[in-house]
Structure 1
Amino acid sequence: MSNFNVPTRDEVSKNDQAIFDNLEKSIGFVPNIYASMGHSKNALGSYMKFLGAATSLNNKEKEVVNLAVSQINGCRYCQAAHTATGKMNGFTDDQIIELRKGEASWDNKTNVLAQTAQRIAATNGQIGADSLSAFHAAGYTKENLVDLIIAIGIITVTNLLHNVTEVPIDFPLAVEL
């Protein structure tokens, strides 16, 4: 277990205090993974801008990426958090488990997105022409590919942060696969 504490609102910068307040208003609490970024006076604000940036992927597609990549990266925190947000975005428990496995038996386009996200994360982007062809054949564009890579980067930040710091998980635990 890490000795990396989760800072309180009083222990972070004024800018981060405002972000804590906004998180408290919008989702009802400050997730520990975000609060832990408060150890840096710049990290949380930068991360939130990156997280909230415009993308060609819709919320469900972003959750597909978050679930698939968090499984590859072995991040128990993000598996838990995105199981909860995946349900909020309309996925069932069974679909969430499939997505974490890089599959989506109910929809070919979603299946290709989950597979491609996991391949990119697992191979540091060395996915090959066949994977790219399948991605485009499923209806995804070059813009979607770029935004997929950015989405993988965003979730990888929190995956790595939790895997290094082991901050307490403040979501219901996800089923281990």
Structure 2
Amino acid sequence: MTRVPIPDRDDAPPESQEMLNAVARQLRFVPALFRAASISPEALTGLTQLSGAMSRAFDARTLARIALAVSQVNECKYCLSLHTYLGMNFGKLSPYEMLRNRWGDSTDAKSTALVMFVRKLVETRGKVVDSELQMIRDAGFDDAQIIEIVAASAFFIFMNLINNVFDTKVDFPEVDIDSKAA
């Protein structure tokens, strides 16, 4: 059970309504995460604006990979379930690939570097060592893209924190937080 009553879409504060409608247009429904954030129109504004910026910076596949790596480190069951759903339906990633991404691995070298870097970034709270920064550069990411990776990671940490604090009920097919790729 959630730790705070999460409003239905129609019961959210009036200032949050248009943002929730935009989420519904994009996803065809309003996930509990956005309804929880709608309790504070300012927080929902930040969440939706950062979501839009990150969607312009990265394609759905890359965003799903980053989200899964961040959410695994932060043990956010809601976000692991949400981003597995989004990764399959919008990013066209296989379940096996997404499971690997959660643990810092991939079937291709550039994506492996990405998810390894993201995990280190979150685990060390940004205090990555020079060799980790060089590894992501060697994989083909420039400094602007590295800043965008940091921003996307912070965005997903924000989502993880909301869901972990409120123990948001998963409204997607639920994934096992402890699953590992074979």
TM range (shorter): over 0.9
Structure 1 residue aligned with 2:4: 4
Specify which of 90, 93, 97 is matched with residue 91 of structure 1. 93
Structure 2 residue aligned with 1:162: 163
CA distance in 2, matches of 1:92, 1:167: 25
Does residue 17 of the first structure (1) align with residue 17 of the second (2)? Answer: yes
Residue pair 2:2, 2:169 contacting (<8 A) in 1 also = no
Q: CA deviation at 1:174?
A: 1.1
SS of the equivalent of 2:135 reads: helix
Structure 2 residue aligned with 1:35: 35
Structure 2 residue aligned with 1:172: 173
CA distance in 1, matches of 2:24, 2:63: 22
CA distance in 1, matches of 2:59, 2:27: 19
Q: CA deviation at 1:134?
A: 0.7
Residue pair 1:5, 1:167 contacting (<8 A) in 2 also = no
Q: Give the count of matched residue pairs.
A: 176
Q: CA deviation at 1:109?
A: 0.3
CA distance in 1, matches of 2:147, 2:30: 29
Structure 1 residue aligned with 2:60: 59
Structure 1 residue runs of 5 or longer lacking an equivalent are none
- 2:127 is matched by which residue type in structure 1? Q
Residue pair 1:15, 1:45 contacting (<8 A) in 2 also = no
Deviating above 4 A after TM superposition, structure 1's stretches of 4 or more consecutive aligned residues are none
Change (3 A) 1:131 1:176: same
Q: Deviations over 1:35-90 (max 9, x none)?
A: 00111121112210111015543321111100000000000000000001111211
- 2:143 is matched by which residue type in structure 1? K
Structure 1 residue aligned with 2:109: 108
Residue pair 1:23, 1:30 contacting (<8 A) in 2 also = yes
Q: CA deviation at 1:124?
A: 0.5
SS of the equivalent of 2:41 reads: coil
- 1:96 is matched by which residue type in structure 2? M
TM-score, length of structure 2 as denominator length:
0.91
Identity in percent? 24
CA distance in 2, matches of 1:70, 1:116: 14
- 1:15 is matched by which residue type in structure 2? E
Residue pair 2:60, 2:87 contacting (<8 A) in 1 also = no
- 2:128 is matched by which residue type in structure 1? I
Does residue 71 of the first structure (1) align with residue 72 of the second (2)? Answer: yes
Structure 1 residue aligned with 2:48: 48
